[in-house]
Amino acid sequence: MDTKGKKILIADDEPDILEIIQYNLSKEGYDVSVAKDGDEALVKAKFSKPDLIILDIMMPKKNGIEVCEILRSQPAFKDVLIIFLTALNDETTHVKGLEMGADDYVNKPISPKVLVSRVNALFRRVNKQPEGKVLKLESLTIDPDRYEVLAGNNNVTLAKKEFELLYLLASRPGRVFLRNEILNQVWGNDVIVGDRTIDVHIRKVRQKLGLDCITTIKGVGYKFDM
């Protein structure tokens, strides 16, 4: 598996656990950093932008649930993978943790091998949605790494939302995206914005591109068409 460049942050107040997990994930090829309490986890997360965060629930400063809540409320961490790791073996916390937006919940004591497998499984699943690929569609080039769009021979600068919107539509040319899907993908499952917001962004993209490549399907949604 391609674990290159995948960054993992582990937060736990027990040094032993921290070390053994770090050792095993590093061996697997991940780029691992650690934090020993909730506050440190937040700081390091902001600093290193990990792809996956493993959170102990019972930690000093801020517990794992709080950390998760804070992270998920920030757009930058809305999609980061989160695994709860805890000695608490209680159903309510388990359910709550998952509902809070965690991707997995693992009980201690944990076998390093199993944890590594679960991490791998999570990345494998997430990677199936091709992300970060440069899209080329006739005269249009969309580069998600640079957040840049080349229309014909001139560079177009799109704002973040505009870009993500275009990228989503262009990722499956011809397919209609329902307004709902667009909201979920670009704005996030939980964000509440008016329906007109999508239209306005569509307009901006159309305007800036100067191409007629987004088709409106009234009452349904939008699709990319060249």
Partner DNA sequence: GATCCTTATAAAAAAAATTTGAAATTGCAA
Partner DNA sequence: TTGCAATTTCAAATTTTTTTTATAAGGATC
Q: Which of 39, 103, 108, 197 binds a second copy (CB under 8 A)?
A: 103
139 to each of 146, 149, 209, 211, 225, how far by Cα in Å? 18, 10, 11, 10, 12
Give the separation between CA 182 and CA 194, rounded to whole angstroms.
13
State which of positions 72-91 bind a second copy (CB under 8 A). 79, 81, 91
Q: Does 64 bind a second copy (CB under 8 A)?
A: no
Looking at beta carbons only, is 26 or 48 nearer to DNA? 48
Q: Which span sits near a second copy by CB under 8 A: 22-30, 66-74, 202-210, 212-220? A: 212-220
Q: Does 212 bind DNA (CB under 7 A)?
A: no
The arrangement of strands across the sheet holding 176-178 comes to: 176-178, 221-224, 214-217
Looking at beta carbons only, is 98 or 168 nearer to DNA? 168
Give the separation between CA 29 and CA 60, rounded to whole angstroms.
29
Q: Does 177 bind DNA (CB under 7 A)?
A: no
By the 10 Å C-beta count (0-12 exposed, 13-18 middle, 19+ buried), 197 is classed as middle
**What tokens were used for 20?**
């053994």
Q: Does 175 bind DNA (CB under 7 A)?
A: no
Phi, psi of 131 (to 5 degrees): -135, 145
- Judged by the rule CB under 8 A, the positions of this chain that interact with a second copy are 1-2, 79, 81, 91, 94-95, 98-99, 101-105, 111, 113-114, 117-118, 120-121, 124-129, 145-148, 159-160, 174-176, 180-181, 184-185, 189, 217-220, 223
- Judged by the rule CB under 7 A, the positions of this chain that interact with DNA are 157, 159-162, 179, 187, 191-197, 199-204, 206, 216, 218-221
